[in-house]
Amino acid sequence: MATATSLAHQDAGSEDFAALLDATLGADTGFAGSVVSGRVLRIDDDYAVVDVGLKSEGRVPLKEFAPQGQKPEVQPGDVVELFVERYEDRDGSIVLSREKARREEAWTNLEKAYQAQQRVNGVIFGRVKGGFTVDLGGAVAFLPGSQVDIRPVRDVGPLMGSPQPFQILKMDRARGNIVVSRRAVLEETRAEQRSELIQGLKEGMVLDGVVKNITDYGAFVDLGGVDGLLHVTDIAWRRINHPSEALTIGQPVKVQVIRFNSETQRISLGMKQLMADPWDGVALKYPVGAKFSGRVTNITDYGAFVELEPGVEGLVHVSEMSWTKKNVHPGKIVATSQEVDVMILDVDEPKRRISLGLKQAQGNPWDLFLEAHPPGSEVEGEIRNITEFGLFIGIGPDIDGMVHMSDISWDEAGEQAMLRFNKGDIVKAKVLDVDVEKERISLGIKQLQADPAAEVLDKVRKGDVVTCIVTQVQANGIEVKVEDVLTGFIRRAELARDRGDQRPDKFAVGEKVDAKVVAVDRAARRLSLTIKGKEIEEEREAMKEYGSTDSGASLGDILGAAIRRRREMAGEE
């Protein structure tokens, strides 16, 4: 066992060794872990040899004198701040760190800024999970992705490598954690700008902004700290169905302040107000009756809007869309974005309204038909419909002509003649009349052939006596045929001179009778006849030729003589 004397000698030896070490390395060995100033003596390969005022020199890697990726700028004679990590053992050299010195210095300054809630400058230099790394003058901080900007940023590339102001959100020196925010700085700046902008904001001002958000009714524009609403109707003079047709998020725009409510701080903006109004002088540019081409921009139940030029639209009312298609939805006639020809019907410049006609630009089909097929010309078409009064024949893509049942046959009754036709039959007809105003075309089938009764009608005159064949006996008279082509009728009262003989049943079908023509209806090809009138006329002529009853001759004698005379003349013939 060691004696007390030997232990005392050992303690004395230890004290001598400590004194010797202090003499070798300096009286103060508490430099480890502190920051000291040193002078660069020389550059050896990748190290800088630095004198920090101690017994030994220190070596510092050159890469610690410059940020990553940059060339170090350090020369012999430069005075730099260094962190003393420790004394090496046997050779007595000192381990120094420029990077840790910068970090210690940065942490001290950052703590002061954090306490004072001051902004600090830094450079984004790397990307990590959930965010980015920031160099704050030697200390590395974490920048969460949500704290980069006020709005989500898709590309942070332009921000990296350039100095940016940051706000320290959290510091923990023991753990070496620093969390910073660039968004907080921007929001604070925006608040300052907003206050400044609101104070000087006036209606009519023209400002630069950035599209921040797009909705169905418009877009919100960031004016630099304050947002304004750009309504969809104020984006452009032309019709815009949705703001996304003209704007994109992040797009820089120039806008004018239309309205500003200082109490609610609501700002209404406009872009079209900075452009020339296309409606100025529109009445001279689009005279009534002129034809133009346009594009269908919108279709409604009551018509279609056609853009004549950007910002100038006119309405084609449903009644002006087609000559032939009635009570049809406009969407069945035109389509959105379709190019169409229209005619200017009316212009109301103060009300910014233009009435357009689609059908007027295409030409009236009845006018075109009349020009190509005047009355008397022949047409051919399909029977599209059969009604109780006639046939409808398709003579164009959308127009029909009508054959009245009375114009089907010269000989048959209308109802009977219609039975020979069916829907879908192809028939020929002659154009009788075209009424453009009433949009009617009259056709005739029987007119394709000459009227067989025309020759007889040309010969028969009122007062002529004609021979008839009884075709029908009726209670009120008899139907007859004249020369097999003309129809005649003798009323009961006209069947005989004497009332007692005015009986239709005295006549038989097929019997021949002579009658006097009372009237000629050329259109109906019909004669009005009288037997009574013929008998009275014959009596009058007989009285004139053979004397009167006053001469002593009886009426029977006179008529008998007249009849005999007529028979003799007939026998001579």
Q: Where are the domains of the chain?
A: 32-116, 117-187, 201-274, 281-357, 365-444, 452-544
At what angle are helices 555-572 and 531-546 packed, to 10 degrees? 100
How many angstroms separate the CA atoms of 517 and 461, rounded? 7
Average pLDDT of the chain to the nearest whole number:
80
Contacts of 220 (CB under 8 A, 6+ apart): 211, 212, 213, 214, 227, 228, 229, 230
Question: Cα(first)–Cα(last) distance of the chain, in Å?
Answer: 196
Q: Which CATH architecture has domain 32-116?
A: Beta Barrel (2.40)
DSSP bridge partners of 59:
49, 95
What SS3 class is residue 382? strand
How many angstroms separate the CA atoms of 434 and 328, rounded? 25
Note the pLDDT tens digit of each residue in 250-291: 899 999 988 888 777 788 999 988 888 888 889 999 999 999
Asked if the domains 281-357 and 452-544 are classified in one and the same CATH topology, the answer is yes
Strand-pair category, 486-491 with 477-482: antiparallel
What SS3 class is residue 202? coil
**Would you say residue 19 has pLDDT above 50?**
no
What SS3 class is residue 475? coil
Write down the pTM of the prediction.
0.46
Please, what CATH class does the domain formed by 365-444 belong to? mainly beta
**Would you say residue 573 has pLDDT above 50?**
no
Q: Which pLDDT value is given to residue 559?
A: 57
**Local structure of residue 328 (DSSP, 8 states):** -
Strand-pair category, 353-357 with 312-317: parallel
DSSP bridge partners of 383:
393
Q: Which pLDDT value is given to residue 204?
A: 85
Cα dihedral value 453, 455, 457, 463, nearest 10: -130
Q: Which CATH architecture has domain 452-544?
A: Beta Barrel (2.40)
Q: What is the mean pLDDT of residues 378-382?
A: 90
**Would you say residue 9 has pLDDT above 60?**
no
Q: Which pLDDT value is given to residue 3?
A: 38
Q: Which CATH architecture has domain 281-357?
A: Beta Barrel (2.40)
Note the pLDDT tens digit of each residue in 107-165: 777 888 888 888 888 888 888 888 889 888 777 889 888 888 877 777 787 888 888 89
Looking at 67-81, 337-351, 383-397, 490-504, which range is the least confident one?
67-81
Q: What is the mean pLDDT of residues 29-52?
A: 68
Which of 304, 256, 246, 307 is CA-nearest to residue 282?
307
Note the pLDDT tens digit of each residue in 460-480: 888 888 899 999 999 999 999
Three-class SS string for 48-116? EEEECCCCCCEEEEHHHHCCCCCCCCCCCCCEEEEEEEEECCCCCCEEEEHHHHHHHHHHHHHHHHHHH
**Would you say residue 65 has pLDDT above 90?**
no
Which of 162, 144, 166, 145 is CA-nearest to residue 154?
145
Q: What is the mean pLDDT of residues 490-514?
A: 89
**Would you say residue 565 has pLDDT above 80?**
no
Note the pLDDT tens digit of each residue in 287-322: 999 999 999 999 999 999 999 988 899 999 999 998
How many angstroms separate the CA atoms of 163 and 145, rounded? 17
Q: What is the mean pLDDT of residues 231-237?
A: 89
How many angstroms separate the CA atoms of 389 and 391, rounded? 7
User: Would you say domain 201-274 falls under CATH 2.40.50.140?
Assistant: yes
User: Would you say domain 117-187 falls under CATH 2.40.50.140?
Assistant: yes
Note the pLDDT tens digit of each residue in 172-208: 877 778 898 988 888 777 777 677 777 777 888 888 8
Burial of 371 per CB tally in 10 Å (0-12, 13-18, 19+): exposed
Q: Which pLDDT value is given to residue 54?
A: 66
How many angstroms separate the CA atoms of 345 and 334, rounded? 19
Q: Which pLDDT value is given to residue 317?
A: 94
Record the tokens describing residue 343, joined without a space: 């005619």
**Would you say residue 452 has pLDDT above 80?**
no
Q: Which amino acid would we find at residue 111?
A: E
pLDDT band at 489 (very low <50, low <70, confident <90, very high): very high
Q: Which amino acid would we find at residue 322?
A: S
Which of 354, 372, 267, 284 is CA-nearest to residue 316?
354
Do residues 348 and 405 lie in contact, with contact meaning Cβ atoms separated by under 8 Å?
no
With a pLDDT cut of 90, the percent of the chain lying above it is: 20
The enclosing H or E element of 183 equals helix 183-200
